[in-house]
Amino acid sequence: MSKRKIVVAYSGGLDTSVMVKWLSEKYNAEIITATGFLGQVKEIEGVKEKAKLTGAVKSYIFDLREEFISNYAWKALKASALYEGTYPMATAIGRPLLAKMLVDVAIQEGADSVAHGCTGKGNDQVRFEVGVQSLAPSLNVIAPLRIWEFKSREEEMEYALNNNIPIKATKDNPYSIDENLWGLAVECGVLEDPTVAPPEDAYQITINPKNAPDQPAAITIGFEKGIPTTLNGVELNPVELVSQLRDLGAAYGIGRLDMIENRVVGIKSREIYEAPAAVILHHAHSELERLVLDKETFRYKQNVSNKIANLIYDGLWYSPLFKSLMAFVDSTQENITGEIKLEFYKGNIKTLSRNSVFSLYNKNLATYTIEDTFDHKASEGFIKIYGLPYKTLAQVKSSSKEEVTA
């Protein structure tokens, strides 16, 4: 009988390297590794060879950057999805794509299980597993970190040593980092104390705003139907556009976030984010929406954005509700076409100009000069009727001698 096959989401780090060997022994299985390249600056070169040395029978590496930005980041951007109003969710949008990669490899290889290196208290286990369940309900998911015997990094190191698993003897990074083109997340170490400000070494890609250039930089981002397509008038492919904004933003100290957030499992955790490209693009996109969307759509979309952010964070990317709400979002983006000019200066973004052929801003209505065309007298009747329910309420309260509280 042929051995069972397990596809492992492989990063090349200690956990997933130990996992390859541990799974093959524990389940008497052939291990196939799959690594997704989502644009992390950290080298992933050599990962394939490393997987083989670790005992994998086959190893895949996929450049998923284009798919990641076009099908995942752009959706989050159009939806203005910022978790708890702040986090642009680089990790949260990457997981469903990696889950899809695992499923694709498992189907191609005839594997019955997939495995990931997430812990039992984080969000990523939820995102991986709900993603896999939604795409391939018959696949089994194994999460070794939730069940194996190792209680520390040292124990894993010892196992690696005893089993000839090649582990780079790098200086212990005190932080746990997850990274892709859209942004980077840093936790652990001193960051676990919310009374402590992040030390400079917690930041991996952005310069301290204090040390950013003394001269500001101005850039123009062009959008078409909610999607950024040009930078300073030059059409760029999605990966190039995001890479350039990430590097430029990082050089100006843009995109540093420090937040306490509510995890899916109920824990509050503290995380540092560096997401220059995402922060710049959300800023620009929202400036364009302010100019173009009608009042009711703008206000309603804020609620939808919040809901979509929660769905993404909670691992429900492939859910019917996410799909339906995205259909709403896409419809709101019909006219989100135009240019936003921004200035970067020591960690800050300033809007220099907004422009769209679909702009609803009408200077003749807004102006306080002689050019004013707004019918001021019409406001009188409008307010009379608009305020009628509250006037009626106050009248009832005073006639019943009740204290007016409203």
Q: Cβ atoms within 10 A of the Cβ of 368, count?
A: 7
Q: Work out which of 31, 185, 279, 288 binds ligand ARG, going by CB under 6 A.
A: 185
124 is catalytic: yes
Residue 162 CB, nearest approach to ligand ARG (Å): 27
Q: Work out which of 77, 92, 245, 326 binds ligand ARG, going by CB under 6 A.
A: 92
Residue 186 CB, nearest approach to ligand ARG (Å): 6
176 is catalytic: yes
Give the active site residue among 4, 70, 112, 176.
176
Give the active site residue among 65, 95, 127, 354.
95
Q: Cβ atoms within 10 A of the Cβ of 308, count?
A: 27
- Report the candidate in 255, 260, 270 with the shortest Cα–Cα distance to residue 187: 270
Between the alpha carbon of residue 21 and those of residues 11, 53, 57, 207, the distances in Å are: 14, 10, 11, 39
Nearer to ligand ARG, 9 or 221 (CB): 9
Give the DSSP H/E element, type plus range, for residue 249: helix 238-251
Residue 161 CB, nearest approach to ligand ARG (Å): 25
DSSP state of 72: I
Which residues does 70 contact at the CB level (< 8 Å), separation at least 6? 238
Which residues does 304 contact at the CB level (< 8 Å), separation at least 6? 79, 325, 328, 329
Residue 185 CB, nearest approach to ligand ARG (Å): 4
Nearer to ligand ARG, 30 or 129 (CB): 129
Q: Residue 109 corresponds to which amino acid?
A: E
Residues 308-347 that bind ligand ARG (CB under 6 A): none
Distance CA 119, CA 110 (A): 26
Nearer to ligand ARG, 177 or 236 (CB): 177
Strand 234-235 with 227-231, pairing: antiparallel
Give the active site residue among 17, 24, 124, 256.
124
Name the one residue in this structure whose structure tokens are 């936790």.
Answer: 187
Residues 105-124 that bind ligand ARG (CB under 6 A): 123
Contact letters for ligand ARG, residues 258-287 (x by CB under 6 A): -------------x----------------
Which residues does 105 contact at the CB level (< 8 Å), separation at least 6? 7, 32, 34, 60, 111
Q: Work out which of 77, 111, 141, 186 binds ligand ARG, going by CB under 6 A.
A: 186
359 is catalytic: no
Q: Work out which of 104, 109, 112, 187 binds ligand ARG, going by CB under 6 A.
A: 187
The answer to whether 329 touches 78, Cβ cutoff 8 Å, is yes
List, in sequence order, every beta strand (DSSP E) within 237-329: 256-262, 268-274
Nearer to ligand ARG, 119 or 237 (CB): 119
Residue 269 CB, nearest approach to ligand ARG (Å): 6
15 is catalytic: yes
Distance CA 354, CA 294 (A): 16
Task: Give the DSSP per-residue string, 327-360.
Answer: HHHHHHTTT--EEEEEEEETTEEEEEEEE-TT--
Contact letters for ligand ARG, residues 154-183 (x by CB under 6 A): ----------------------xxx-----
Residue 199 CB, nearest approach to ligand ARG (Å): 16
Give the DSSP H/E element, type plus range, for residue 52: helix 47-54
Contact letters for ligand ARG, residues 220-259 (x by CB under 6 A): ----------------------------------------
Residue 179 CB, nearest approach to ligand ARG (Å): 9
Task: Give the binding site for ligand ARG (CB under 6 A).
Answer: 91-92, 123, 176-178, 185-187, 271
Residues with active-site annotation: 15, 95, 124, 176
